[in-house]
């Protein structure tokens, strides 16, 4: 991997990740990573692709149809990331011992591209796996689609760091598990 590619990845990580994620990804030994050319441009450490795992709530899901296609060509999911003092018990402890300024939400954006596009494909052949895992991950999980995702769903997302022709570097959805789903009957919650 060239130093130019390495600095490009570091720049991408700095601009697209919150502080906790930067802390984890900054320790990635980029000199030991491989970065193949598109469409198989998945950042790998040895034989294993680098996987980023985040937990947050769904802020938005956007689907774009490709030119002349009936099915969506791409999906973009935006998560508001969960952080330690977002939880009421942690916030209560911190409020007693320190002055807390209002925090700007931290977002994480990942993409999924359809594999049924005409050749040449511009993105890695990753088929995203989406599950409704309300009991436990892998136990009683139901397969869902991007259309089934709701705003405010609490999700665990696994993503690969990829490069494509259209977008230079991006996070590609590998697996998404809906862990918690607020009921529809809360007034004003889904407005």
One of 3.40.50.300, 1.10.287.130, 2.40.50.140, 3.40.50.12280 is the CATH number of 3-180, namely 2.40.50.140
Looking at the chain, list the stretches that DSSP marks H as alpha helix, in order from N- to C-terminal side: 3-16, 19-25, 88-97
Task: Output the CA–CA distances (angstroms, integers) from residue 3 to 9, 10, 20, 62, in the order listed.
Answer: 10, 10, 24, 34
The full set of domain ranges for the chain reads 3-180
pLDDT of residue 103: 57
d(CA 171, CA 78): 11
Give the sign of the dihedral formed by CA 31, CA 37, CA 38, CA 39: negative
As averages over each run of 10 residues, the pLDDT of the chain (191 residues) reads 66 55 62 75 84 87 70 82 58 53 72 64 80 85 91 90 73 91 62 46
63 and 112 Cβ atoms separated by less than 8 Å: no
Residue 175 has which token pair?
């697996």
pLDDT at 191: 46
Which residue matches tokens 């598109």?
Answer: 38
Among candidate residues 128, 150, 164, 174, the one with its CA nearest the CA of residue 59: 150
Residue 157: C-alpha distances to residues 79, 116, 137 (Å): 9, 23, 12
Partner residues linked to 74 by β-bridges:
64, 113
DSSP secondary structure code for residue 67 in this structure: T
DSSP lists the bridge partners of residue 52 as 159
Residues 115 and 141 sit within 8 Å (Cβ to Cβ): no
Using alpha carbons only, give the angle 78, 156, 141 rounded to the nearest 5 degrees. Answer: 120
Can you give the pTM of this predicted structure?
A: 0.71
What tokens were used for 182? 């607020």
């Amino acid at each position: 991997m060239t130093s130019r590619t390495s600095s490009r990845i570091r720049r991408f990580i700095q601009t697209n990740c919150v502080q906790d994620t930067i802390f984890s990804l900054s320790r990635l030994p980029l000199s030991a990573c491989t970065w193949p050319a598109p469409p198989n441009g998945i950042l790998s450490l040895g034989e294993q692709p680098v996987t980023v795992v985040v937990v947050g709530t769904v802020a938005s899901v956007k689907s774009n149809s490709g030119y002349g296609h009936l099915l969506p060509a791409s999906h973009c999911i935006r998560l508001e990331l969960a952080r330690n003092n977002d939880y009421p018990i942690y916030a209560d402890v911190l409020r007693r011992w320190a002055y807390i300024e209002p925090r700007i939400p931290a977002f994480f954006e990942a993409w999924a591209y359809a594999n049924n596009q005409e050749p040449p494909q511009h993105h890695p052949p990753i088929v995203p796996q989406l599950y409704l895992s309300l009991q436990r991950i892998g136990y009683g999980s139901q397969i869902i689609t991007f259309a089934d995702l709701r705003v405010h769903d609490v999700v665990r997302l696994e993503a690969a760091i990829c490069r494509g022709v259209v977008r230079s570097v991006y996070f590609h959805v590998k697996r998404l598990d809906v862990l918690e789903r607020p009921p529809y009957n809360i007034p004003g919650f889904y407005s």
